[in-house]
Amino acid sequence: MANAKSKEKPSSPIGASLQRNDVYEKVTGSAIYVDDLQFGNRLLYAHVLRSPHPHALIKSIDTSKAEKLPGVKVVVTGKDFPERMGLYLKDKTIFALDRVRFIGEPVAAVAAVSEEIAMKACDLIEVEYEILEAVFDAEYGASDKAPLIHPQLGEYYCPNYLFPKPGTNISNHFKIRRGNCEAAWKECAYIVERTFHIPHIQHVPIETHGAIALMDEKGKMTIWASSQSPFAQRNIIAQALHITQTDLRVIAPLVGGGFGSKAGVTMEAIPAALATKCKGWPVKLMLTREEEFFTNFVRQGLTTHVKVGCDKDGNILALKNVMYWDAGASTEYGANVVRAAGYSSSGPYDIPNIETDSICVYTNHPIGGAYRGFGMSELHTGIDQAIDELAEKAGFDKVTFLKKNAISEGDIIVTGMKMHANGIQECIDNVAKSIEFSKKEEPTSPDRVRGKGIAIMWKAPATSPNPGSSAWVELAEDGKVTVGLGGQELGQGTFTVMAQMAAAALGVKYEDVRIAGPIDTQYSPYEWQTVASRLTWSMGNAVRAAAADARRQILDVVAEAWKENPEDLDIVNGVVVSYKSEKETPLANLVIYGLPRENNGGWIGGPIVGRGSFMPQYITNLDLETGQGPRAVVHYTVGCEGLDIEIDKNTGKIHVVKAAASFDVGKAINPELVKGQIEGGFVQGLSSALFEEIRLRNGVMTNPSFVDYRIATAPDVNFPLDVPFVEVPQDDGPWGARGVGEHPMVPTIAALGNAIYNATGIRLDGPPYSAEKVYLAMYDAGLTK
Amino acid sequence: MAYQRITLTVNDLTETVDVPQNMTLLQMLRQKLSLTGTKNGCSAGECGACTVLMNGEPVNSCMVLAAECEGATIVTVEGLAKNGKLSKVQEAVAKAGGVQCGFCTPGMMISATALLERNPNPSDDEIRQAIVGNLCRCTGYFRIVNGIKEAAKM
Amino acid sequence: MINPHPGLPELEYVKPATLVEASQFLAEHNGTAKPFSGGTDCFVRLRDGVLKVDYLVDIKGLDGTKELSFDPKKGLTIGAAVPMNKVATNKDVIAHYPNLAMAANSVASYQLRNRATIIGNICNASPAGDTIGTCMVLDGVLNVHGTDGFRQIPLNSFFLGPGRTVLKPGDVVVSITLPVPPAGMVGVYKKLGRNTIGDLSIVGVAVLGYPNQKSPSGYTFRIALASVAPVPFEALKAEAVLSEKKITEETIAQAADIAMESVTPIDDVRGSARYRKLMVRNLTREAITEVWNQLSK
């Protein structure tokens, strides 16, 4: 109970490591994911017929035999759904139309009474292809020798901040021209030039993609999907299927891991398309793990040419990046990854002269989408390693070099925007101290060599210029609170953190706040997407505003009833108190029915509904030729990672002795959840550095299963990881908070590459730093026999 | 499609089920018994999301035919908590922060429960080895291992 | 392009009550029926469409398949239905065949080892099979029941190529018998995978050694290699070096070099031929050294 008399305030939920509010369901198996939803006997099962060719014309499709198979309800092909769609650049269709552009592309789909029958029906569909020459390399694809994969690129809708080149395979060419690199090279005392290749990888959510779609007799559709973007899916699928947005309802249960793979629209459109042909019958499609690996979304491959130079005092003067992104058969989403890498292409370094060409190239490879980091991991793999070498060449200690050149508040950054206050110096210090970076330590055995590496990073939320969040807050007769929001719980803890924020802004206990889930576009307020590490900041602002709005309404009612000033009132643990008169009343007494006036004079107030909305108003476009503009992004989160490793000279295997990851999160609303994110992101980064690669041969993924696409397992994580975070407040973040979801997997490859270099003097040309690569490099360098 | 009638015990309840002979134990649990706590992550015996106890030992239920389970005793994640009270493993891993998206969690709970049954005081390395077949993409495993260690002390 | 089934394709499950029934069924349905125990290999291949059968024949109830026993004269008998975990934790295995426990423990995950069997590993005849090499150097003999009754097949004449064995239609491998190892035997299994543990082998090396007065060096070594040849491969030339010459660091290195030269690995998704050869050398050297250190104590 609140104690108005003593004016004691209980501890705030902000900054408290409160227990997640979804953990009971998850440990008992009662949490509902999309494949757990029950639909009864009317449920139909979908199977997709996919292209076996990387690039081919479709001459004919004969579905007649499939349609006749007993148990088959619907068969569809591309001609039934010709509308182009996409989050940014509309270059994608639900099914291939006149040609296929990657192995695995959907060509047709069947809805039938069982998965087995749907699969058999797909086998009966006859497709005639005319093979076309394919493109498997981004630099080649960007050249004028390559065949065109999207000859109609010029006709696609494109937002005005992307710059496609019709008549080529380049769907976005983002440039930075800042200062004068040509002149600056001449001033440089030391220059490093390197090329790195970063392969495609996949998100590997443990829950694969899945969706169920149902269209009613009036043409209203409901889609249940494992989704990071229920509202974006509503918008994009509605447009593609000519349904008005209000008549397309997306319900998004808990997500078993997203990492960007479940953003935008991918396979969800397929059951939606089928459902339009069998009104009243729900159609379900769950991707197999194999389909998840290569038919849906992957992370783009990158070939990056980096040139960086500094003066004799160690000031970095110039940086040139030429980045060819192997973006796959569609770049509706990936074109913005290329842009984001471009406008952040300096990394968190203060460099006055920058020339960047970030080139998004169509290839006949799997589709590059949004992947945790959104281009930052690939970018930093290049620049952090080149700068690591530059530091050594210039004779500087690495940490000194990083600290000297790291971006500071007030610096004009790569796009011309001013950098805000940030904790990069403290992050570097934390990591250097944690792994004792300056201390050269002996290997633990004569069969090993030892080295340490450090790398820094930054990332801004990469979005459209106008991504909005909104929220509502309601209370019930018990005085407890329900928060309506549109962002998704992917495991990052957003439902928990939003409950904490609502509790703090309203004045109730965290335990008394519920999130209105599952997210349902029919009832939940709009949220752009659960991506970009933006929810804590953006949706947090909306939730805080909604709770504050509810609080103001409540205090206005009570003030009027008590004839007091709202400024003298407060809500503490769900009780409205007056610091002046010391009167109190629990919220339950007034949030539905209001308060009675004196002397049978009627009522004050009524049902309390708070609303809040947040959309950054200040993002601007950037110049086509120079990439300069007043405000490219909302803000940057900075950070640093370091690794202390040993390499086995007999096998090339890398053993991590200890590691550290430090990020400036602005304000840790829930410190243990923040640490959990950083730990998980670090391991995903380490996994991408050590093991992961989509092995493509002539457009075929040769390792589309866990057997040969390896990810980190528990025994691989047998070292201590220190995760000290820094808090330099974000001026427009709720309680100063900023996002950190993606950042921990960004600098890990570079930090490991730098550690390998420190241990062996060998700079490998790209991840994964497999034992084989490391061993053979050491062997060829004479470091091992 | 040929069917088989099997009788088995699932979470202390006797069940008699008619299963298609190509149906896996995972599919039977999820589709015939509506026990959706056990998850499908790969259907190839690699990710461990489908782990259940079969006659006391953890197995990938996607790699077991339902038809083989005549007379078997199966425990799924739904069978770990008793009367709403979480088991030590569930409580400790939850408290340690070893749950994010939750999709690997049911399988982890089963593997960890079986580990502590056969090895009540495992080292960190023994814990990691016991869960090598339970892939997690969210947590980095640190807090899962810590949670299991705490459960051993409870 | 891979197009796996969501679950398993249509098939019938058959559980014969006797070995005679099993052999008869398998012979009658040769090509459309397959025996299985743990299913961890064949279920995956069925799902991928690489293997197509109408019948899966469960051998787990048949006589002799559940046996796991040690006889001081006969040796160790492991039935076809005994999961790898049971073998790895058996006190007689740990006492007399610790290298077999090591090899079994290196396979996959705890969950898979509760279903996977050593006989299944052998019959699958993958060159990467982790327990095959150890069973070979332990001179394992398979007890097979076919349409003509029982017969024995020594392991070193069992393999014809990747996935191919000398088994005939109607054959069910009931168990393997590993003779009592020579006195003073020491053995190890060294495996290199991509992850720390739990992976398929890029290279696997099974080495055992024991005192042997008949041998010029005073010792006999057996060396079997996985994932570097079409079948699990016994490195006879390398063994000969350790038999003929006095065992020193140099002879061990020489034996390892010869092992490396005698293998013909391929480039595949797990590793290149070049790396595999060098790893054969390094792991063989490491394994022989470890065994020698214990033998020469």
The overall average pLDDT reported for chain A is 97
Label residue C2 by pLDDT band (50, 70, 90).
confident
Q: Mean pLDDT over residues A562-566, rounded?
A: 97
8 Å CB contact of A718 and C196: yes
Helix (H/G/I), strand (E/B), else coil: A450: strand
Tell me the mean pLDDT in the region C86-94.
98
Q: How far is CA A645 from CA A181, A444, A685, B41, in A?
A: 36, 11, 15, 32
Other beta carbons within 10 Å of C285: 23
Pairing relationship of beta strands A126-131 and B57-60 according to DSSP bridges: unpaired
CB contact under 8 A, C286 and A650: yes
User: Distance between CA atoms of C122 and C232, rounded to whole angstroms?
Assistant: 10
Nearest to A706 among B42, B127, B143 (CB): B42
Evaluate if residue A1 carries a pLDDT over 50. no
* Residue A29 and residue B50 in contact, taking contact as beta carbons nearer than 8 Å: no
pLDDT band at C275 (very low <50, low <70, confident <90, very high): very high
Name the residue among A50, A651, A703 with its Cβ closest to that of C192.
A651
Those residues whose C-beta lies under 8 Å from the C-beta of residue A363, and which sit 6 or more positions away, are: A135, A136, A137, A138, A141, A149, A169, A326, A327, A328, A329
- Residue A677: which domain range? 301-463+621-780
- Residue A341 and residue A174: Cα distance in Å, rounded? 9
Query: In sequence order, what DSSP letters do the residues of C144-189 get, joined into one string?
Result: EEETTEEEEEEGGGTEEETTEES--TT-EEEEEEEPPPPTT-EEEE
pLDDT in tens, A684-708: 999 999 999 999 999 999 999 999 9
**Statement to judge: residues A386 and A455 lie in one domain:** yes
Q: What is the pTM of this model?
A: 0.98
Query: Rounded mean pLDDT of C275-281?
Result: 98
CATH assignment of B3-79, among 3.10.20.30, 3.50.50.60, 1.20.1090.10, 3.30.565.10: 3.10.20.30
pLDDT bracket for residue C1 (50, 70, 90) = confident
pLDDT at A9: 65
Element (H, E) at A394: none
According to DSSP, residue A366 is labeled P
CB contacts of B97 in chain A (<8 Å) are 20, 672-673, 675-676
pLDDT at A385 over 90: yes
Note the pLDDT of residue A5. Answer: 53
- The Cβ-side half-sphere exposure at A522, using a 13 Å CA radius, reads 11
Residues A16-36, mean pLDDT to the nearest whole number: 98
Q: Give the closest of B24, B57, B130 to C8, CB-based.
A: B24
- A91, A225: one domain: yes
Confidence of residue A624 (pLDDT cuts 50, 70, 90): very high
Task: Choose from C3, C36, C87, C111 for mutation: most chain B CBs within 10 A.
Answer: C111
Residue ranges of domains in chain C, CATH in brackets: 12-58 (3.30.43), 68-178 (3.30.465.10), 200-295 (3.30.390.50)
Average pLDDT rounded to a whole number, residues A86-96: 98
* CATH fold match for the domains B3-79 and B88-153: no
Interchain CB contact of C286 with A (< 8 Å): yes
Q: Do A28 and B37 touch (CB under 8 A)?
A: yes
Q: Tokens for A175?
A: 């440039």
**How far does B120 lie from chain A, in Å, by closest CA?**
19
Residue A190, domain member (yes or no) = no
Strands A99-100 and A56-62 turn out to be antiparallel
Residue A7 confidence class, pLDDT cut points 50, 70, 90: low
Instruction: Tell if the CB–CB gap between C115 and B64 is shorter than 8 Å.
Output: yes
- Residue A128 and residue A58 share a domain: yes
What is the pLDDT at residue A735? 98
Instruction: Count CB atoms within 10 A of the CB of residue A666.
Output: 28
> What pLDDT sits at residue A8?
59
C-alpha dihedral sign at A662, A663, A666, A672: negative
Measure CB to CB from residue A717 to each of B40, B100, B141 and give the nearest one. Answer: B141
Q: Same domain, yes or no, for A547 and A636?
A: no
Are A110 and A47 spatial neighbours (Cβ–Cβ below 8 Å)? yes
pLDDT at A578 over 80: yes
Beta strands in A609-653 (DSSP E): 609-614, 637-648
Question: Tokens 């079969």 appear where?
Answer: B54
Chains that touch A (3 or more CB pairs under 8 A): B, C
- Asked whether residue C156 carries a pLDDT value surpassing 70, the answer given is yes
Question: Is residue A122 over pLDDT 70?
Answer: yes
Kindly state the percentage of chain C with pLDDT values over 70: 100
Subunits close to C (at least 3 CB pairs below 8 A) = A, B
Q: Are residues A670 and A653 in the same domain?
A: yes
**Domain B88-153 CATH assignment equals 3.40.50.720:** no
Closest alpha carbon to A203 in A91, A340, A367, A10: A367
Q: Are residues A459 and A471 in the same domain?
A: no
Instruction: Judge: C1–A104 Cβ closer than 8 Å, yes or no.
Output: yes
Q: Which of A288, A322, A344 is the last residue of a domain?
A: A288
Residues 78-107 of A with CB under 8 A from C: 103-104
User: For residue range C123-147, what is the model confidence (pLDDT) as tens digits?
Assistant: 999 999 999 999 999 999 999 999 9
Asked if omega into A768 is within 30° of 0 (cis), the reply is yes
Do A477 and A446 lie in one domain? The reply is no
pLDDT of A10 reads: 75
pLDDT interval class at A53 (50, 70, 90): very high
Q: How confident is the model at residue A106 (pLDDT cuts 50, 70, 90)?
A: very high
Question: Using the beta-carbon criterion (under 8 Å), do B65 and C108 form an inter-chain contact?
Answer: no
Distances (CA, A) of A261 to A103, A264, A750: 18, 8, 23
Q: Give percent of chain C with pLDDT exceeding 90.
A: 97
Least Cα separation, residue B70 to chain A (angstroms): 24
Number of domains in chain A: 3
Residue C80: partners with Cβ closer than 8 Å, 6 or more residues away: C37, C59, C60, C62, C64, C65, C117, C119, C120, C172, C173, C174, C175
How far apart (Å, rounded) are the C-alpha atoms in residues A756 and A654? Answer: 9
A290: left (phi over 0), alpha (psi -120 to 50) or beta: alpha
Q: CB–CB of C18/A65 below 8 Å?
A: no
At C25-64, the pLDDT tens digits run 999 999 999 999 999 999 999 999 999 999 999 999 999 9
The answer to whether A647 and A774 are in contact (CB under 8 A) is yes
Tokens encoding A387: 């700068």
Whichever domain contains A557, its CATH number is 3.30.365.10
Among A221, A253, A288, the domain-final residue is A288
Task: State which of A239, A256, A288 marks the end of a domain.
Answer: A288
Residue C242, classed as helix, strand or coil, is: helix
The model's pLDDT over A316-370, given as tens digits with 9 standing for 90+, comes to 999 999 999 999 999 999 999 999 999 999 999 999 999 999 999 999 999 999 9
Q: Strands of A170-178's sheet, edge to edge?
A: A170-178, A353-362, A316-328, A301-310, A190-198
Q: How far is CA C44 from CA C6, C40, C232, in A?
A: 11, 7, 21
What is the C-alpha to C-alpha distance for residues C75 and C227, in angstroms, rounded to an integer? 28
Claim to verify: residue A12 and residue A125 sit in the same structural domain:
no
pLDDT over 70 at C11, yes or no:
yes
Predicted local confidence at residue A261, as pLDDT: 98
Q: What pLDDT, on a 0 to 100 scale, did the predictor assign at position C90?
A: 98
How do the domains of chain B map onto residue ranges?
3-79, 88-153
Instruction: Report B:35-54 residues touching C (Cβ under 8 A).
Output: 43-45, 48, 51, 54
pLDDT below 50 — which residues of chain B? Answer: none
* CA angle at C296 for the pair C290 and C297, rounded to the nearest 5°: 95
- Closest to B124 measured CA to CA, from B137, B139, B141: B141
**Is the confidence at residue A785, as pLDDT, over 90?**
no
**Average pLDDT score over residue span C162-185:** 97
Largest CA distance in chain B: 50
Residue A669 DSSP SS3: coil
Put simply, the chain A residues between 683 and 742 with a CB less than 8 A from any chain C CB are: 691, 695, 700, 702-705, 707-708, 710, 712-713, 715-716, 718
Contact A713/C272, CB-based, under 8 Å? no
Percentages (nearest 5) of helix, strand, coil residues in chain B: 40, 20, 40
